[in-house]
Structure 1
Amino acid sequence: MSWLAKLVAVVAALSLVTFGTAYARNAPVAAVITPTAGASVPVGVPVLFTGIAVNGETGGITSVELSVDGGSTWVEVGTTESWRYVYTPTEVGDLTVVSRAATAAGMGEPTAPRTVHVGSTGPLRPISGLYYFLLPDAVSAADTDAEPVEVGMRTRFDRPGSITGVALRRGSYAGPITVRVWSSAGVLLGEQVTAESRIMLTTPVPVTADEDYVVSYYTPEGGYRSSEHYFTGTVVSMPFTAPHDGVSGAGVYRYGVGGGFPTDTWHDSNYWIAPYFQR
């Protein structure tokens, strides 16, 4: 089942509770995917809002709107089932986020509100077990670049725990790669050679809350998968954050035989590697 199909199923189930059976069966339903409820974001840094809108098997979404003030004002963020929108908060405080979708028959009801904290933190959502940073989906391409390169993603966590592995989308190169975990200062914290696309580290890497880390992999012949103009804002899916620094997004790379700590950026690219986290 595709990413979108799974979310459609979830939204359909939740809509029965959120809107009532009659409404859910006859009107479009919208959902905000990121940032997740209770997320904390900084002032003055772009945040990537993503979501979907569905209208059962009928389809026909014509507009999706987003509000960050509880529905007092709205902005159109898309005209299809999947949408993205970059918003830069300018003041400390809470955003009350709601979305709604329309078809040719009219506008649906707003979603249940969720709170996003700007410049402050709120209670952390309890978690247990293993969590994967499920990045909002996008079209990706196998890059034709054949040079040796290390590609990765900057990430941080809202609580202490461990990076226990990574998952990635492989490109055209199917040979062995070297997966690495780095501190924000470029200290190598973990390394493992593999030919797989989902890797559980033999030795998990402990991480501290609100510190930046980089998960990356070195490919000796390029052939990685990428999506340009993806990390156009900070992506928050608790307990994970892929931070935007106000200039460039979380995707990073470094050319050279053997790779190394990646710090270069290109068009806010996503190289489709993300961590597993365990508390």
Structure 2
Amino acid sequence: MAAMIRTRFAPSPNGQLHLGHAYAAVVAHDLARARGGEFLLRIEDIDGTRSRAELIPEILADLDWLGLRWDGPVVHQSSRLPSYQAAAERLKAQDLLYPCRCTRAEVLAASPGTGPDGPIYPGTCRGRAVDPAGAAWRLDMAKAVSLTGPLEWTDALAGVQRAQPEAFGDVVLLRKEAPASYHLAATLDDAADGVTLVTRGADLFASTHVHRLLQALLGLSVPVWHHHGLLVESDGRKLAKRRGSPALADLRRSGADGPALAQALRTALFPAGISLVSGVGIAP
């Protein structure tokens, strides 16, 4: 008998949800329901001062308005800080993490090139005696890759991929301003929640190379991924909170029909000026 599918929607309460979030939630919800599986809700609320607790009830109300029901209790990342620290200590014990006090400007000025996350870290603090107090902690990528050997992962749309985390350089896993980076927290949380199908936008496709490496280093379960297309504005930029993309809360309060909107998203009937695009080699 095939294992039950389990998906999740994991928004951050640093702004109101918009249509792009609604589309992501619908995809995760429908993939689970189509196979008699479970759809989980996780609130990623560890982003320093950007996380706003008052927005969490709004997120729940938006999903309810869309007609999306999640299974089990809502999980908050802020309740899992000990697990992030424990994982970091395991990596430190393998001599895979080192403290870094470089500023963004310093990294940019010395970077040898650009990777999926931006400027590649030049390794300035690797091998140096650095005061760890208040420092970020980076993964020694070359050493980590040498321990795991070749790795693969599977995207439900793009097929089997060879993991190439080296393209990121020495990524930050413990941030100065937050208990853990997205790479570490999301990987640990998906394993803890038993997620079997990780659904997210095609803009995060490359991040999976790092997440697959972390799974190997920490002995975590390996799901299948499903990187769906993105909703974009007429200028080709994806919808974003910081640019004032229409908020679901505003539509909800105006009396709009939530389930009808969810169905429109399923059938690619988007508002004027918004369209769906895929990542390279990925169908929406």
Considering fraction of residues, name the structure with more helix. Answer: 2
Which TM class, normalised by the smaller chain length? under 0.3
Considering fraction of residues, name the structure with more strand. Answer: 1
Length-normalised TM-score, structure 2: 0.27
